[in-house]
Homo-oligomer: A and B are copies of this chain.
Amino acid sequence: MTASFIPPKRILMGPGPSDVPQRVLEAMARPTIGHLDPAFVTLMEEIKAMLRMAFKTENALTFPVSAPGSAGMEMCFVNLVEPGDKVIVCRNGVFGGRMLENVKRTGGVPVMVDDAWGAPVSPDKVREAFKANPDAKVLAFVHAETSTGAQSDAATLAKIAQEYGALTIMDCVTSLGGTPIHLDAWGIDAAYSGSQKCLSCTPGLSPVSFSQKAIDKIQSRKTAVQSWFLDLNLVLGYWQSAGKRTYHHTAPINPMYGLHEALVILEEEGLENAWARHRAMREKLKAGLEALGLKYVVEESARLPQLNSVYVPEGVDDAAVRAKLLADFNLEIGAGLGDMAGKIWRIGLMGYSAKQENVDYCLNALKACLK
């Protein structure tokens, strides 16, 4: 007989999931209702409105995909890219590479703009890519690279795309709620995020938002969207507010309760206050990390407050330290991905984890493990 699973109580300071407030956990445990229940429609409408607040957008088509951020990414690409469409893909870490994979699988023609891991995307290179490919239909970039902790200048990148009449797809999985995003002011056409980063909900949902220009492209496609589950033409009927909702799939009811509560908490704090808290906590963490002699991977000007990548000091065993942090301190920090595996640590200050107690605890634990 299998016993019930009682998870250890961790302090989550990796690249996500982040610590989940008790209020969100309790919301997850409220009684399940049907996905066609009138009360669920109310829940959906409130989630959509609060996501618009978080994204700083008026986009009607703003909602959580019923699956993790990878599915949100795929929704953007399979709907906005048709076979033969040229897509300029900026790659400065793991998730830009995943965008390339998505473009290939839609039959799009990728044009790569590569920057070093840890560097932000270079607007100059993007401009060059558009000059060489003025027929590019889409620009895709990662706002906050979760694999390195680098932040790119989304406003400038989106502006270049607009000059060439291209749509913009932005990955903001790690930025939403933690560092400024202005979807409408920047003119982003499609954005996807995750529930488990700076929103401090449990993983499994991917907030997305699409501009009218994006919808126009989707509705004028010549080919069918290759995914049934992610086809916005079908999902639109499910998530639309006006008139009769059509059944598409069964939404994950209880995780929606959790996301709703996480957004209520964000609304209570105020989005700008949340951004400021992330910055403030990051200053404290930075001072402590530097006192420990740790060096940042990313240049100061491009550092994300919510994800601090530092080099593993020479002679220190990456895996052993992380194992000790977990075993002795119940503290999770992130390892490096891809080329940076074994070389860096990624210390998250996301959402509910961005607080003084966590900063102090993490610095003390690191100090003990680096002795």
A residues adjacent to B (C-beta < 8 A): 1-10, 12, 14, 16-17, 19-20, 23, 25-40, 42-43, 46, 49-50, 66-71, 73-74, 78, 98, 101-102, 104-106, 194, 196, 202-205, 224-229, 247-255, 257-258, 260-261, 263-264, 267-268, 326, 332, 335, 337
Contacts and interface: CB of A to CB of B under 8 A. Distances in A.
Given A4-B264, A227-B105, A267-B1, A249 B31 contact: no
Given A5-B43, A5-B260, A14-B34, 7 more contacts: A2-B267, A7-B32, A16-B250, A26-B29, A29-B29, A38-B326, A196-B250
Contacts of A40: 7
26 contacts: A1-B267, A2-B260, A4-B264, A5-B46, A6-B30, A7-B32, A7-B33, A12-B34, A17-B32, A20-B32, A26-B29, A32-B196, A33-B332, A37-B332, A38-B326, A66-B68, A67-B67, A67-B71, A73-B229, A74-B228, A105-B224, A106-B226, A203-B251, A204-B204, A226-B227, A254-B255
Contacts of A267: 1-2
A255 to B, nearest CB: 6
B228 A70 contact: yes
Contacts of A227: 74, 78, 105, 226-227
B253 A203 contact: yes
Contacts of A249: 68-71
Copies of this chain held together in the complex: 2
A254 B255 CA distance: 8
B337 A252 contact: no
A251 B37 CA distance: 27
B68 A5 contact: no
B105 A228 contact: yes
Contact of A326 (B32, B37, B194): B37
A252 B202 contact: yes
Contacts of A30: 5-7, 25
Contacts of A335: 36
A169 to B, nearest CB: 14
A280 to B, nearest CB: 24
Contacts of A42: 5
Contacts of A66: 67-68, 204
A261 B7 CA distance: 12
A260 B268 CA distance: 34
A206 to B, nearest CB: 10
Contact of A35 (B203, B225, B250): B203
A229 B77 CA distance: 12
A174 to B, nearest CB: 11
Which of A67, A73, A248 has the most B CB atoms < 10 Å from its CB? A67
Contacts of A203: 32, 35, 250-253
B25 A254 contact: yes
B268 A1 contact: yes
B4 A46 contact: no
A7 B41 CA distance: 11
A248 B94 CA distance: 11
A102 B252 contact: no
Given A2-B267, A204-B66, A226-B105, A20 B28 contact: no
A296 B248 CA distance: 26
A17 B253 contact: yes
B69 A250 contact: yes
Nearest to A20: B32
Contact of A98 (B12, B104, B228): B228
